[in-house]
Structure 1
Amino acid sequence: MRPVLLLVWLWSLAPTAMNIKVAPAVPDPPSAPSLAHCPKTCGDVSISYPFGVGPGCFRQGFDLICDTTTKPPKLFLGNTTTQVISLFPSGTVLASIMYTIPMVPGVGTYNLSWESPGRNLNIATYNYLAFLGCGIGVYLYHPDTGDLVGHCTVKCASMASMLLVTEGGGICNGMGCCTVTFPVPFRGFRVTIVKNNETVPQPFANITIKAFLSFRPYIFSIADLLSDKINASTVGASSAAYLSTVITDNPNCAKARSDDKTRYACGSSNCENVANGGYYCTCSGSSDDGNPYILDDCKQGTQPPSTPSLFHLFAQPII
């Protein structure tokens, strides 16, 4: 081809070549050095990415607030009242979710709800909701469909009869306390409490309703029932539940890997789909004590996990 014709031909291809768009590379998960400036603890709770406190320290939707006005400081999920009790590198969160609901004369129905910030935490089915009260019916609804998925009733008898219930450690069986369980993992819950048309003996008439989410069996106490409030000092270790991290910016692992608009959370770690949408990351083999949400952090784990496995934590009967 003559030199002049060659130049003309190449020039004709230039616009086409200039219009070729190269898909941007999906950024990797952050590395440990890039998070070195981030707070590592709040009080006695260790903080692990994708959660974090402060700019540049958390994945979108996983921000935490450290309340330093208390002694010791307390850690909360975003701008909520949900307190974080423990946080594991795997992304599992032990959280305190509880409610106090005063009974108001003339009011027969009460509603409460909870949703994980960013809808990025699942309530697993080994957790349950406990309700302390008298003369009430409790109805649990699916947070997305509105379908009724659980129901329990609480009755109260005379003080003598109630004391018999608690002899030797009372179980939550509908006398002063009842529980509802989750048929599938939920990102939150909606509950309606209805006051039954029945006479409640003193001193249990019109007492405050208490509710809390837990994974451990609750041992019923009349003192808890008669209290005007509920907190960790009343129901103790029972007032906490395990929540599992879900990355929700894509519906599954395959879509997350191919999406050039969002940061793939797992990097070189394993990816697992979540039944109700999204995915989560895991380490494998002897790397279970690493953080799968930090670049190459799984490779740091060469010893058996330093924390108890989730199987041992959850292998308790739920009452």
Structure 2
Amino acid sequence: MALQVVLLLFLLSSFCTATAASSSSSSVKSVEAKPNCPDKCGKITVPYPFGFGHDPNCYRDGFKLSCNHTVTPPKLLIASADMIIFEGTDQDGFYKRSADKVMEVKEISLLEGQLHVYSFVDYNCNNHSLFVSPNTSSILMWLGRTSFTYSDTRNMFTVIGCDSQAYNRYTNNETSGWYGTLQYGCQVSCSEKEETLSGNYSGMGFCQTTIPKGVKIFERKMEILDNSSSDFSPCAYSFIADKERYNFSVADLSGFDFYRRNRGMVPTILDWAIENDSCENITMRNSTTYACGNNTHCYKSPNGLG
């Protein structure tokens, strides 16, 4: 099967996509936005093929971002029109679109073909004395209009909380619905309170599993199986997080502190690529029919959209 590739432009005379992964000796001589297009949101540089604003010529399809100037400093976000989030609670069991949740972009990596973002934490609490908002025990995430997928090499699916479980049902085809989808997930076990909170037993109080390659659409559900640990582990959480940025601590089991401390978000890595083809095929095409033209170089991406 042809390898996913990302096209890296050295921006000499034309402006085209600027991304991909290559060897450590490779470098980007010049990376910038298109002429007359905004190139920064706060302190974050936004190079083409990414872009934001009202002019659709400033970005490629699937790479539109937005810049929220109502906060200081401004925040770079994945455009809400291209990313849809539905949440369900354990109270009514129905999904509702979450208009106030958007993914914040913290960094755009061209050489690695990745976006560093913050994604959302689901939670379920069985100790009602915590007075938290209704449990977001299920979530439906749709990245169908973007060129982004959850990185299978950098992220782990994580569940925190004694006697809880969560699973993701996913599909990579936005037109076929959930027909033929697969699932992955894990279940958390704990021992007695003192043993669990001692931190001496690896894997107790949380579980992690890898995620499939190329996931764009998923439904995540979680539940607490037993409330016998509610005095020291009243809440359960599930999320997809960058394994280089999240490390479990027994303090994450206490009360609702984990959610509050992280503002309901965790660092996550999204992969992206321009073309679903091999460099050999791309370089044989007419320059007017594919993503880049003259003065470009093509590199194989280690984390294409698969």
TM-score scaled to structure 1, two decimals? 0.60
Determine the structure 2 residue equivalent to 1:66.
67
Alignment length (residue pairs): 241
SS in 1 for 2:171: coil
Aligned with residue 86 of structure 1, among 96, 107, 110: 107
Whole-angstrom CA distance in 1 between matches of 2:65 and 2:251: 33
SS in 2 for 1:95: strand
SS in 2 for 1:192: strand
Whole-angstrom CA distance in 1 between matches of 2:282 and 2:106: 33
Whole-angstrom CA distance in 2 between matches of 1:271 and 1:193: 40
Structure 1 residues 128 and 89: alpha-carbon distance in aligned structure 2, compared to 1, 3 A threshold? same
Structure 1 residues 35 and 62: alpha-carbon distance in aligned structure 2, compared to 1, 3 A threshold? same
Whole-angstrom CA distance in 1 between matches of 2:151 and 2:185: 18
SS in 2 for 1:60: coil
Determine the structure 2 residue equivalent to 1:223.
251
Q: Which moves more between the two structures, 44-53 or 116-125?
A: 116-125
Whole-angstrom CA distance in 1 between matches of 2:217 and 2:105: 16
Whole-angstrom CA distance in 1 between matches of 2:210 and 2:218: 11
Determine the structure 1 residue equivalent to 2:23.
none
Q: Is the aligned partner of 1:99 residue 2:126?
A: no
Determine the structure 1 residue equivalent to 2:148.
121
SS in 2 for 1:224: helix
1:235, CA displacement in angstroms? Answer: 9.5
Higher RCO, Cα 8 Å, sep 6+: 2
Q: Is the aligned partner of 1:184 residue 2:219?
A: no
Aligned with residue 269 of structure 2, among 234, 238, 242: 242
Identity between Structure 1 and Structure 2 (%)? 21
Structure 1 residues 229 and 53: alpha-carbon distance in aligned structure 2, compared to 1, 3 A threshold? farther
Q: Which moves more between the two structures, 221-230 or 92-101?
A: 221-230
SS in 1 for 2:235: coil
Determine the structure 1 residue equivalent to 2:160.
132
Q: Is the aligned partner of 1:270 residue 2:277?
A: no
Alignment of 1:145-184 (within 5 A): 145-148=180-183, 150-165=184-199, 173=203, 175-184=204-213
Whole-angstrom CA distance in 2 between matches of 1:233 and 1:205: 16
TM-score scaled to structure 2, two decimals? 0.63
Amino acid at match of 1:82: M
RMSD in angstroms over aligned alpha carbons? 4.0
CA deviation profile, 1:161-196 (whole Å, cap 9, x unmatched): 22212x6xx86x2x2221121243433443332432
Structure 1 residues 103 and 199: alpha-carbon distance in aligned structure 2, compared to 1, 3 A threshold? closer
CA deviation profile, 1:265-299 (whole Å, cap 9, x unmatched): 46522154889767xxxxxxxxxxxxxxxxxxxxx
CA deviation profile, 1:26-73 (whole Å, cap 9, x unmatched): xx7549798132222212222121111111221111111111222222
Whole-angstrom CA distance in 2 between matches of 1:231 and 1:103: 11
Structure 1 residues 216 and 205: alpha-carbon distance in aligned structure 2, compared to 1, 3 A threshold? closer
Determine the structure 2 residue equivalent to 1:48.
47
- Unaligned stretches of 5+ in structure 2? 1-13, 18-30, 84-101, 128-133, 173-179
Alignment of 1:278-293 (within 5 A): none
Structure 1 residues 33 and 42: alpha-carbon distance in aligned structure 2, compared to 1, 3 A threshold? closer
Q: Is the aligned partner of 1:141 residue 2:169?
A: yes
Larger proportion of strand: 2
Whole-angstrom CA distance in 2 between matches of 1:182 and 1:275: 13
Amino acid at match of 1:164: S
Contact 2:162–2:233 (CA under 8 A) maintained in structure 1: yes
Whole-angstrom CA distance in 2 between matches of 1:33 and 1:93: 16
Amino acid at match of 1:83: E
Q: Is the aligned partner of 1:200 residue 2:228?
A: yes
Amino acid at match of 1:151: G
- Unaligned stretches of 5+ in structure 1? 1-27, 279-319
Amino acid at match of 1:162: T
